[in-house]
Amino acid sequence: MPEDFYIDKDNYIESYKYWTWETQEIWKDKNRAEMQADIWYNRMRNQTALDMIGDLAKGKKLIDVGTSPCWVETELLPELGASEIVKNDIIFSEGIDLVADACELPVEDESFDFIICRELVEHV
pLDDT digits (tens, 9 = 90+) for 35-71: 777 778 878 888 888 899 989 999 999 999 988 666 6
One pLDDT digit (tens) per residue for the chain, 124 residues? 344 444 444 554 444 444 454 555 666 666 667 777 777 887 888 888 889 998 999 999 999 998 866 667 677 888 889 999 898 988 887 788 899 998 899 999 999 999 988 877 766 6
Q: Are 96 and 119 in contact (CB under 8 A)?
A: no
Handedness of CA 99, 73, 53, 39 (dihedral sign): negative
Instruction: For the chain, report the end-to-end CA distance as a whole number of angstroms.
Output: 33
Distance from C-alpha of 107 to C-alpha of 91, rounded to nearest angstrom: 17
Ramachandran class of 81: left when φ > 0, alpha when ψ lies in -120 to 50, beta otherwise = left
Q: Where are the domains of the chain?
A: 3-123
Please report, for residues 2, 14, 26, the alpha-carbon distance to residue 59 in angstroms, rounded to integers and kept in the order given.
30, 33, 39
pTM of the model: 0.67
Q: What is the pLDDT of residue 24?
A: 58
